């Protein structure tokens, strides 16, 4: 969309691109480089710009002692489940908000969205005893449910604003053919709404994937620990500061998700295009 035929435009464009690119990617490079350095090289006052004697030691340790595969498995399981759950609830609710008119619709929607500003830490104080009563403490199910706090309202809003743009005629035409509302939703509306649903799924996924606060508190046993608290407990805590290990484990933890996102990115952008922002 820009006209880059003049030298000035080109210079400005490339200059800004390099600057932002550096800001975005350099930390990633530095993580990679640090993770490949042995401790002796890592803890130098003047760091080497790239690993002089690259070693996979930190990766090996992370996979064996650091229990990374287990942490990763737990995180993926919990995040995918909670994202699915969130996306499902949000899809129905968003459709309801967009296409039906009933008493209290707007206030409820507004209230749900404003709830996103309730301090998460505050909610945790009361969620904890509640989960104990429901026998949900230290269960993956509990953690999955608790992630509703993070993403459901915004997810609902995103999908709502998409559905608002789906023309009523599409639905009313099907109604005229005698299809029930539920059937119309499932067979006509849903199939054309995959990208925004994927978007909402990914948005919810990221909240769960990132969470430290809830997981650290609601998960008690080692076998169910997720990535963020696992990394913190293993690598940087009261007794330990293992930067190389932390870097290696972080990269490995991020890899499967990066790959998954690259695959889904097309949907994501399409979904955002169709949905929240039109």
Partner 1 sequence: MSSDATSLPDGTEFRPSPHARRGGLKAGDARFGVMLLLPALLAFGLIVLSPFIQALAMSFYKYTISTPEPVFVGLKNYGKLLSDPTVRASFVTTAIYVFFTTSFSITLGLAWAIILNEPFKGRTAIRGLSLIPWIMPATVSAFIYGWIFNSRYGLLNAIGKELGLIEYPVAWLADPTGAMVAVVMTKVWLSIPLFMSFFLAGLQSMDREQIEAARVDGAGNWHVLKDHIFPHLRPVFLVVVVLGMIGNLQQFDSIYAMTGGGPVRATSVLSVEVYRRAFEQWDIGMAATVGVLWVATILPPAYFYLRQLMKGAE
Partner 2 sequence: MKHLKTGLVSAIAALAVTAGAVQAETVEFMNWVSAEETGKEKMTAMADSFKEATGNEVDLQGYAWGDMNKNYVLRARSKTLPNVGQSQGRLLPIIAGIPEMQDFNEIFGKDKLAEMFPASFLAAGEIDGKQLGLPWIGGTIGWVANQEVLDAAGITEMPETVEEFKAALIQVRDNVPNSVPLGLATKNHNSIVLDYITWLWTFGGDVMVDGKPAVNSPEAVAALSFLTDAVSERLAAPEIDRPDARRLFAQGATAFYLDAPLARTFARKFSGRDMEIDPAVKPIKAPVLNAGDDPVSVSWGHLIVAFGDEAPAADSPAMQWVMHLLSNEQLVGYAVNQSVLPTTNAALESEEVKADTYLTEWAAATVAPRRNTIASMEKGAEVSAVIGEEFQAAILGQKTAEEAANDMQSRLEGVLAE
Q: Closest separation between CB of residue 63 and partner 1, Å?
A: 17
Give me the residue label for tokens 């640090």: 34
Q: Closest separation between CB of residue 223 and partner 1, Å?
A: 19
Among 216, 264, 267, 270, binds partner 2 (CB under 8 A): 216
Q: Closest separation between CB of residue 28 and partner 1, Å?
A: 6
Q: How many residues does the chain have?
A: 278
**Does the protein bind partner 2 through residue 135 (CB under 8 A)?**
yes
**Does the protein bind partner 2 through residue 133 (CB under 8 A)?**
yes
Q: Closest separation between CB of residue 61 and partner 1, Å?
A: 16
**Does the protein bind partner 2 through residue 126 (CB under 8 A)?**
no
Q: Which is nearer to partner 1, 43 or 64 (CB)?
A: 43
Cα separation, 38 vs 55, whole angstroms: 6
Question: Are 276 and 157 within 8 A, CB to CB?
Answer: yes
Cα separation, 125 vs 55, whole angstroms: 44
Here the tokens at position 94 are: 């968003």
Question: Are 55 and 242 within 8 A, CB to CB?
Answer: no
Cα separation, 153 vs 148, whole angstroms: 8
Q: Closest separation between CB of residue 233 and partner 2, Å?
A: 5
Selection from partner 1, partner 2, none that 133 binds (CB < 5 to 8 A by kind) is partner 2
Among 64, 180, 237, 265, binds partner 2 (CB under 8 A): 237
Residue 236 phi, psi dihedral angles, 5° rounding: -130, 100
Cα separation, 153 vs 82, whole angstroms: 14
Residues within the interface to partner 2 (CB under 8 A): 39-40, 43, 45, 65, 128-129, 132-133, 135, 137, 216-217, 220-222, 232-234, 236-242
């Amino acid at each position: 969309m820009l006209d880059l035929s003049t030298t000035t435009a080109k210079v400005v464009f490339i200059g800004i691109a390099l600057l932002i690119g550096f800001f975005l990617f350099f930390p990633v490079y530095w993580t990679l480089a640090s993770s490949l350095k042995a401790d002796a090289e890592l803890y130098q006052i003047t760091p080497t710009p790239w690993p002089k004697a690259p070693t996979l030691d930190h990766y090996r340790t992370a996979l064996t002692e650091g229990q990374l595969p287990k942490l990763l498995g737990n995180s993926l399981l919990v995040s995918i489940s909670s994202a699915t759950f969130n996306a499902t609830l949000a899809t129905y609710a968003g459709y309801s908000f967009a296409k039906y008119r009933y008493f209290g619709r707007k206030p409820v929607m507004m209230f749900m969205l404003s709830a996103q500003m309730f301090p998460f830490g505050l909610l945790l104080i009361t969620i904890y005893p509640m989960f104990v009563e429901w026998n949900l403490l230290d269960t993956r199910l509990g953690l999955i449910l608790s992630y509703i706090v993070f993403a459901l309202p915004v997810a609902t809003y995103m999908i709502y604003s998409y559905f608002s743009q789906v023309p009523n005629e599409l639905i009313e035409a099907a109604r005229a053919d005698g299809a029930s509302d539920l059937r119309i939703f499932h067979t006509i509306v849903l199939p054309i709404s995959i990208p925004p649903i994927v978007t909402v799924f990914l948005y919810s996924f990221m909240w769960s994937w990132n969470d430290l606060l809830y997981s650290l508190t609601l998960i008690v046993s080692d076998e169910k620990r997720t990535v963020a608290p696992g990394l913190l407990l293993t690598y940087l805590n009261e007794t330990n500061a293992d930067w190389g290990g932390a870097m290696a484990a972080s990269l490995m933890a991020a890899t499967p998700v990066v790959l998954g996102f690259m695959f889904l990115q097309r949907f994501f952008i399409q979904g955002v295009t169709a949905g929240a922002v039109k």
